[in-house]
Structure 1
Amino acid sequence: MSDVTTTDLYEVTMALSYLREDMRAPATFSLFVRDLPPSRGFLVAAGLEPVLDFLADYRVEGEDVEEFADVLHRPVRDLEPLLGLSFEGEVRAVPEGHAVFAYEPLLEVTAPLPQAQLVETYLLNHVCHQTVVASKAARCVLAAAGHPVVDFSLRRTHGPQAGFQTARLGALVGFAGTSNVAAATALGFAASGTMAHSYIEAFPGEEEAFRAFARCHPGPVTFLVDTYDTEAGVRVAARVLSDLRRGPGCAIRLDSGHLDALARRSRALLDAAGLADVRIVASGGLDEYGVARLVRAGAPIDVYAVGTRVGVAADAPYLDSAYKLVEYDGRPVMKLSSAKVTAPGRKQIHRRTGHPDVIALAGEGPPQSARHLLHTVMRGGRRTGPPDHWQHARERFREDIADLPAPARRIEDPVPVRAIRSQALEELTARVRADIEHRMQSAATPIASHSS
């Protein structure tokens, strides 16, 4: 099965109809988020890189046509107009790592209508999932207030691909490492891991387990100390580390219980043993809320490991997103459905430090000292430059987060940043709306009957 068939059926039926009607003029679709989840003051744009890979390789082959025909219960010849279709369009997008807000286009696709329609589902899936996870991970970095954060999510994410994406997105927003070996290798990112409770349980006691682990791994080690009694585990770990003279770089990990109290007691025990340079790693159901509480309380925790809740974005696992037609064959279009009104025309985002973002028409010049946020990243179905590295996105994230208002960065009860529309966009929206309403009214007016 190719990625071409990773789509909703109605994309296929619409594209086929467009081809039969010879509706191949350029169409622009805008992908955006209507409203941020109640617990978010901002989002982090993500998912663009795999989208560009997908579009660059997009081509409907014979086996794809056969699959489409099979699910539609139609002869293959009926679906042959789709054969050989590839993506030849333009993509303008917000580069990964930038902070984005409601109604701002994360990307705009301009291509012959059937092409732009067929890729909708795949684009929404990648951009929305990765944006929501990146935004959750970003809040963990904010909550940690300078303490390293590592990704332990792989075993609980919704599939291995999602686990890889979470590791990459964590790197993008400032995580210090990941437990995911494949992701660490592919990304050139730090791998991080300790041991499981099962390892401890396999030995007669904790001391035997810790010594065996240290014999196998001559470098810095991290001992999991809460399999049985946490304080006793810390004492054993301290004894083994002291005997082996393994202080610098080593750590203990707390994975359950009252992490604040246990961290304080553990720190005291380690310090009393002369192991002030042994760090404390905390894990076990943590996300930005738990991390923020521990940081506020002053818990002596050096590293935070986050997993399940971040990998699945537990408190806000989806976005109210859309991929809407805004222009066809040079004609701006919009949707008027209640609560789902869209703005017509190709767009640009103007960003200026200390001011709200302005959602403008693509041809509008930016205000003084403002910069464009949407960049042309694909033209003629090909990238306009080399793939963007996660480290570059990380720098963009750092710059944008530093410029965000403090209320938007809050972990509890954040205040979302609101973009405004330019006057030209407002005027175009009013004109298109009036034109649609006029045409609807004309269509609904009955033709007067004449009697002789």
Structure 2
Amino acid sequence: MPEATRAGPTTTDLYEVSMALSYLREGMTRPAAFSCFVRDLPPGRGFLVAAGAEPVLDFLARYRLGPAEIEVFAEAMRRPPRELAPLLGLRFTGEVRAVPEGRVVLPGEPLLEITAPLPQAQLAETFVLNQLSHQTAVAAKCARCVLAARGRPVVDFSLRRTHGTEAGFQAARLAAMAGFAGTSNVAAAHAERLPAVGTMAHSYVEAFEDEEAAFLAFARAHPGPVTFLVDTYDTDSGVAAAARVLHALGRSAGSAVRLDSGDLAAQAFRARAMLDRAELPEVRIVASGGLDEFAVDDLVRSGAPIDVFAVGTRIGVSADAPYLDSAYKLVAYDGRPVMKLSAAKVSAPGRKQVFRGPGCRDVIGLAEEPAPPGTVPLLETLMRGGVRCAPRSPLADARARLAADLAELPAAARAIRSPVPVRPSVSPPLAALTDRVRQRIERAVLAPYGHFT
């Protein structure tokens, strides 16, 4: 089980606790609806991939504020624990609606909505944003790598450079959801039933007198297909040594050589020619070393004879787009729709639904309105009364959802460079509600100060 699912109620921002305590003291415990969404896509992205809902559900299902948590909060607030007594015993009893993991999502669309007594819904904010923001960003990066590879296998080598082991576990899982063929992360491979993959490091080769001795020793320790890292000193000599060892042991079927630095395309062409001359056409070429979807796309377009791409650092941290412009906004309280009017950060009021049509032509509407003809709703109710009401979604199901959505997405949005995102439209009922709420706020809040007449 990923470490994220063991985070407790004190994994939060201090102001969430301060607000929740104030709400309780004011008796403001009526149902509140909060919506989590991404305002705009990062540069260079044509879509996002919903991810992170599962750990959010785990977190909320076991959420309890006991004496230990109250002590921690009191210490942080520099107040005696007795003053935080209204928080004692609080647990999550609300509803969660979310886009299932693996679905393609577009800017402005809610990834997840929570409806719960106001203090509970407020306390969920930090964990919800933490999980959905990171995992949605990484999942999109992984999906783009699979698209760039155009059917060639991609494997995850990201663990050693992710921002913590929890993030490494998530990256391996999200990569598998996107269609990666395996991961180097042993814990993730075991927990998620994924193929574990790996080769050797340059240090292994350096520990021996020469490359041939290293490859022989490695093959003796590992029966079956092996992958030799051939560019520790000189790629041509490394490929030649690998060919001699594979011939001598009769182990060419399923085996590979790995290129990890330099001009990978040029090296791949030379390595392929050398392996073919050595009558080893079945030996594959694996490429690694700072790869992401842009490098993979270049290599595929060059025609380089690379059979497998091993990507690591850049996908594990979503290097070119490491954060999302995500938000968790109150959209209704006690039946009253609310919205934010701050410049460039306007939020639409009311609980919502996303209706998906062919080609991912989406309509953002109100949760209670009927689906427009030819569309299906994306958000599903996954928790009621603080208890899961839907089984945990298998990784294979998320993978199938993503593959189906990517096939529907216009080619321009799937493009690796200069993608053109599909923009969702807004339903007439949601547009009308937004206008009414804006006018109400302008009359009640802004007009007395002379901002509006």
When normalised by structure 2's length, the TM-score is 0.97
1:385 to 390, 400, 424: 390
Q: CA deviation at 1:94?
A: 0.1
2:412 corresponds to 1:407: yes
Matched with 1:88 is 93
Residues paired across the two proteins, number: 446
SS of residue in 2 equivalent to 1:354: helix
The 8 Å contact of residues 360 and 422 in structure 2, kept in 1 or not, is answered as: no
Aligned equivalents of 1:378, 1:77: Cα separation in 2: 32
The 8 Å contact of residues 102 and 401 in structure 2, kept in 1 or not, is answered as: yes
SS of residue in 2 equivalent to 1:16: helix
- Which shows bigger deviation, 363-372 or 184-193? 363-372
2:294 corresponds to 1:289: yes
Partner AA of 1:296 in structure 2 = R
Aligned equivalents of 2:195, 2:358: Cα separation in 1: 33
Q: CA deviation at 1:445?
A: 6.6
Superposed CA deviations along residues 149-202 of structure 1, whole A, max 9, x for unmatched, are 000000000000000000000000100000000000000000000000000000
The 8 Å contact of residues 32 and 115 in structure 2, kept in 1 or not, is answered as: yes
Matched with 2:22 is 17
2:72 corresponds to 1:67: yes
Aligned equivalents of 1:351, 1:336: Cα separation in 2: 27
The 8 Å contact of residues 41 and 416 in structure 1, kept in 2 or not, is answered as: yes
SS of residue in 2 equivalent to 1:327: strand
2:187 corresponds to 1:188: no
Where structure 2 has 5 or more consecutive residues not aligned to the other structure, the ranges are: 1-5
Aligned equivalents of 1:445, 1:282: Cα separation in 2: 64
Aligned equivalents of 1:355, 1:208: Cα separation in 2: 55
Partner AA of 1:119 in structure 2 = A
1:233 to 229, 238, 241: 238
The 8 Å contact of residues 360 and 408 in structure 2, kept in 1 or not, is answered as: no
Q: CA deviation at 1:88?
A: 0.4
Superposed CA deviations along residues 54-99 of structure 1, whole A, max 9, x for unmatched, are 0101111111100110011101001111111000000000000000
2:263 to 251, 258, 264: 258
Q: How does 1:229-378 map to 2 (within 5 A)?
A: 229-354=234-359, 356-378=361-383
Matched with 1:163 is 168
CA RMSD, 1 decimal: 1.1
Aligned equivalents of 2:313, 2:161: Cα separation in 1: 5
Q: CA deviation at 1:239?
A: 0.6
Counterparts in 2 of 1:269 and 1:72: CA distance versus 1, 3 Å: same
Q: CA deviation at 1:441?
A: 4.1
2:448 corresponds to 1:434: no
Counterparts in 2 of 1:302 and 1:383: CA distance versus 1, 3 Å: same
Q: How does 1:199-238 map to 2 (within 5 A)?
A: 199-238=204-243
Partner AA of 1:334 in structure 2 = M
2:157 corresponds to 1:152: yes
Aligned equivalents of 2:223, 2:8: Cα separation in 1: 45
SS of residue in 2 equivalent to 1:336: coil
Q: CA deviation at 1:255?
A: 0.3
Q: CA deviation at 1:443?
A: 3.6
Matched with 2:403 is 398
Superposed CA deviations along residues 4-52 of structure 1, whole A, max 9, x for unmatched, are 0111110000000000000000000000000000110000000011111
The 8 Å contact of residues 2 and 64 in structure 1, kept in 2 or not, is answered as: no
Partner AA of 1:295 in structure 2 = V
The 8 Å contact of residues 205 and 214 in structure 2, kept in 1 or not, is answered as: yes
The 8 Å contact of residues 38 and 324 in structure 2, kept in 1 or not, is answered as: yes
Partner AA of 1:346 in structure 2 = R
Counterparts in 2 of 1:209 and 1:444: CA distance versus 1, 3 Å: same
Matched with 2:3 is none
Q: Which runs of 4+ in 1 moved over 2 A?
A: 441-446
Aligned equivalents of 2:418, 2:373: Cα separation in 1: 33
Matched with 1:449 is none
Partner AA of 1:164 in structure 2 = F
Matched with 1:175 is 180
Counterparts in 2 of 1:98 and 1:380: CA distance versus 1, 3 Å: same
Aligned equivalents of 1:152, 1:299: Cα separation in 2: 21
1:425 to 427, 430, 435: 430
The 8 Å contact of residues 41 and 414 in structure 1, kept in 2 or not, is answered as: yes
SS of residue in 1 equivalent to 2:177: helix
2:74 corresponds to 1:53: no
Partner AA of 1:22 in structure 2 = G
Aligned equivalents of 2:177, 2:375: Cα separation in 1: 25
The 8 Å contact of residues 27 and 327 in structure 1, kept in 2 or not, is answered as: yes
Where structure 1 has 5 or more consecutive residues not aligned to the other structure, the ranges are: 447-452
Percent pairwise identity: 66
Aligned equivalents of 1:133, 1:442: Cα separation in 2: 44
Matched with 1:114 is 119
1:140 to 114, 138, 145: 145
SS of residue in 1 equivalent to 2:331: strand
The 8 Å contact of residues 135 and 174 in structure 2, kept in 1 or not, is answered as: yes
Aligned equivalents of 1:156, 1:442: Cα separation in 2: 53
Matched with 2:108 is 103
Aligned equivalents of 1:353, 1:52: Cα separation in 2: 29
Counterparts in 2 of 1:326 and 1:234: CA distance versus 1, 3 Å: same
